[in-house]
Structure 1
């Protein structure tokens, strides 16, 4: 049997797969895991040595059990790999998430702490035409963009130089 949606007037099968919507609902969890790992400097701690969850927890001043659960989540995301009882970085996380490396994107990752509240107020912005933050104001704009420019400069500067040349 097929039902009609009053808005679309298109047939809707009884057995729809909700995975796309559920993936959207829980996409924040990937960002939250990444932010936590960057804040705790897990990738930097793991950059030069494979570590057990307990060893990493000692370095990061966290508890071993929750640290291991976070590592399992990061493994699903393709950011760490498990080897027996130890974890190591993947090429992706080694290149972009280790502090001090030219491609470091940890600052951009932490910027999500500023971005997400604004996105979750999008409905308010649409109803009021009032932006979450006024980037037309010079002081607000500078405070917002300066850290982003600092974080992304090492990545975009070489591209800009090649483009101009």
Structure 2
């Protein structure tokens, strides 16, 4: 008995082993529209099942599981209702909605099921490809705006990037970096990305009240540079390099450098490997995700990114890390 009581608690392992089921509960609730329906007010399970076209007994079990996860509360007497967490992030149309991003991540399900083969063989996934295919995955590249916007605002303030002058948000995504820079009334921001993502960036710029400072220019990230050399005072390339791979990233950095005026500022922001002594956070899991879901992607070392900047005629300057995001700046020589 003494030996049994001295063993470590296996609880964390049991929770880890069952983690896939929790993710699937969330995904099923999003797919069925549970959060959308409950946003209208409390409902007993039977009423909710009729509205969603579900089996009452099965939906009751799903609701009980959602209660375990802290997303639903109440009972069938008082009605099932959303918790504050679900109200904030899981109801479509709300400013904090993250459902599209969660759906995109859950669509990686089959690729993660091939992880064992990927580790044995080194054969990568190909679900997420080159930058021109960003429109195929809007939830991944523009679906996390409620999380990304405060981060971009904080980094812009810490780096002292305003006033930014003529700005190119080269990989605009949901528009968070251009919006943060457009807090300066004199800024002129050009948002560049694939057409579907630009529609998302435009919507967020309108909501932020800065759309009058924006131009929206669609592109495909092909070999042709979208703007003339020296066109901008500030160029931002955010959250693209880890998906694209080293060679494609270096090509895009070089294009951004050419579009800067002499003395202009380049901002490269992404989730990267931790600098020595920095907090690791869950970067290893994200790096593994890039193995199973991308053709060439992976987390980059900040030093490698600085080297790519130098090779493109940029003088590396500041480095700021907020949470998982590292922003590097460089000055056009």
* Match 1:47 to one of 39, 42, 45: 39
* CA positional deviation for 1:146: 3.6
Question: Is structure 2 residue 91 aligned with structure 1 residue 103?
Answer: no
Cα 1:136–1:94, aligned 2, differ >3 Å: closer, same or farther? Answer: closer
Contact 1:96 1:104 in 2 (8 A): yes
Correspondence for 1:71 among 63, 70, 79: 63
CA distance in 2, matches of 1:84, 1:62: 16
Q: Which has the higher helix share?
A: 1
Deviation at 1:155, TM superposition (A): 3.2
Higher strand proportion (structure 1 or 2): 2
Once residues 45 and 123 of structure 1 are traced to their aligned partners in structure 2, the CA distance between those partners, rounded to angstroms, is 38
Paired position in structure 2 for 1:19:
11
**Runs of 4+ with >6 A deviation:** none
Query: Partner residue of 1:114?
Result: 107
Larger radius of gyration: 2
| Contact 1:33-1:70 at 8 Å conserved across structures | yes
Distance 2:154 2:10 in 1: 45
How many residue pairs are counted as aligned between the two chains?
Answer: 154
Match of 1:164 among 153, 156, 163: 156
Cα RMSD for the two superposed structures: 2.5
Q: Where does the alignment leave 5 or more consecutive residues of structure 2 unmatched?
A: 158-333
Q: In the alignment, what sits opposite 1:147?
A: 139
2:41 touches 2:81 (CA, 8 Å); kept in 1? yes
Call closer, same or farther: CA 1:18–1:94 in 2, change over 3 Å. Answer: same
Post-superposition shift, 1:72? 0.4
Q: For residue 137 of structure 1, report the CA deviation from its aligned partner.
A: 4.0
What do the CA deviations read for 1:118-148 (whole angstroms, capped 9, x no partner)?
2222221122111122755445x53565431
Q: Aligned-pair distance for 1:58?
A: 1.4
TM-score of the pair, normalised by structure 2: 0.42
Establish whether residue 28 from structure 1 lines up as the match of residue 20 from structure 2: yes
Which structure exhibits the higher relative contact order, with contacts defined as CA atoms closer than 8 Å and separated by 6 or more residues?
1
